[in-house]
Structure 1
């Protein structure tokens, strides 16, 4: 039995034991793609009959960490739209690229078709204000990176990390591609633009390994020039009152 088959068997067994009323389930993440390690968790999307159960739960089953993404059938379409709006579509990809564990009523098959349609549609474009804000923030990190010194590695590494993250958001948006966080950031970055994405990643690595920001500065500068250039003076943002405070 392959690691992928073993993971699927374990996930199906867990769903049957702990979620006997589930209307369907799908295994996603690295386990479904055969790329898991002995310490990888199991990412499982589960369709439940009651929307009150919808949410995210983490547990351990037979010694293995399991992360459950619980959604009711009735709320799934709305949740997928919320997931798309984040431009990462984490759960959407789980259903579209995952492996079906159980689907007695055909709900998972319908969810997978819906997820595939959303992936083809792509993430929503950034608004004009989001572009301006992104350019301004990345310009700030760019300036800090230019001024960074290897004598203060903590600051230099922190700036490089933020510069890469902001650059990833803007580069994927420029390419109308999905973004990601954690280990998915470099994957999505290279998928969106193999050439510039690799330059950004190599530049970040050079800061980490050699305290040399030159490559990352060059890559960020190239990105900024492709989306309207650095934005400093002239940028403005107005606070907006809300029920939870100011944003």
Structure 2
């Protein structure tokens, strides 16, 4: 498992690169330790650029007292992940590169950081009217299930679905990036702190007490500016060739 002493994260990351990727052309340290948000369970996220590897890969290991996740790319493979993250509206790779502290650079990092910055500033693809309509329908469908459900176990997971749908709808309708796991709240806060507090309170109240009213009101508040709930008349795929 390597060294047991936990080094300073930047020092540990530099030693990691020197030990495992001495011939790489560039590397950055990213993640929570860079943003000052590390916890006792945080790891080191390291992105490596090495033109000698045939394809990208990801690996996890422990060394220098840290759990380390390394994302290894050649000079072009990272572009595929930039594109995938852009289409998913979850720019994790772009964030890692743009926020990352440079550990090693043979003249390639600045241009890759600039690519990441341009994508982050551009934002995700705007939703079409048809997609907005489809998302309204799916939220309505889940909300109806939530309102009518009398089974606590099922209620919990319908609420999970609603939380994800509302998070996505609010951010994408406003041209913002989305997230998963802890980034659900982080991306919402980046957009609107007041709404995020209302969102958390609504679902927290339900999970603690079983009271659904605040979740229902939140969903309706989000949908109302775009036509409200949608069921009757919705079609998907009808007449498509």
Same fold (TM over 0.5): yes
Name whichever of 132-141 and 62-71 sits farther off: 62-71
8 Å Cα contact 1:48-1:54 kept in structure 2: no
* Pairs aligned (count): 232
Q: Residues 47-85 of structure 1, C-alpha deviation per residue, up to 9 Å, x if partnerless?
A: 121452313222222453222222222233343232211
Distance 2:228 2:111 in 1: 44
The structural deviation recorded for 1:121 is 0.6
User: Counterpart in 1 of 2:152?
Assistant: 153
* SS of 1:65 mapped into structure 2: strand
Q: Are 1:59 and 2:79 counterparts?
A: no
Distance 2:180 2:138 in 1: 18
Q: Residues 60-115 of structure 1, C-alpha deviation per residue, up to 9 Å, x if partnerless?
A: 22453222222222233343232211101000011111211111x12112111111
Distance 1:132 1:69 in 2: 37
User: Counterpart in 2 of 1:134?
Assistant: 135
RMSD value, Cα: 1.9
Distance 2:54 2:234 in 1: 43
Q: Which structure 2 residues correspond to residues 25-36 of structure 1 after superposition, within 5 A?
A: 25-36=27-38
Match of 1:76 among 75, 78, 88: 78
Distance 2:35 2:20 in 1: 24
Q: Which structure 2 residues correspond to residues 210-225 of structure 1 after superposition, within 5 A?
A: 210-225=209-224
TM norm structure 2: 0.88
User: Counterpart in 2 of 1:11?
Assistant: 13
The structural deviation recorded for 1:202 is 1.3
* SS of 1:161 mapped into structure 2: helix
* SS of 2:163 mapped into structure 1: helix
* SS of 2:205 mapped into structure 1: helix
* SS of 2:8 mapped into structure 1: helix
Q: Residues 192-235 of structure 1, C-alpha deviation per residue, up to 9 Å, x if partnerless?
A: 23333322221111111111121111111111112332121222
8 Å Cα contact 1:95-1:115 kept in structure 2: yes
User: Counterpart in 1 of 2:232?
Assistant: 233
Distance 1:45 1:226 in 2: 41
Distance 1:33 1:56 in 2: 22
Distance 1:166 1:34 in 2: 30
Distance 1:235 1:198 in 2: 32
Name whichever of 55-64 and 8-17 sits farther off: 55-64
Give the direction of change, closer, same or farther, for the CA distance of 1:197–1:54 in structure 2 (3 Å limit): same
Q: Which runs of 5+ in 1 are unaligned?
A: 240-247
Q: Are 1:94 and 2:96 counterparts?
A: yes
User: Counterpart in 2 of 1:243?
Assistant: none
Give the direction of change, closer, same or farther, for the CA distance of 1:188–1:98 in structure 2 (3 Å limit): same
Distance 1:189 1:231 in 2: 24
Q: Which structure 2 residues correspond to residues 33-48 of structure 1 after superposition, within 5 A?
A: 33-48=35-50
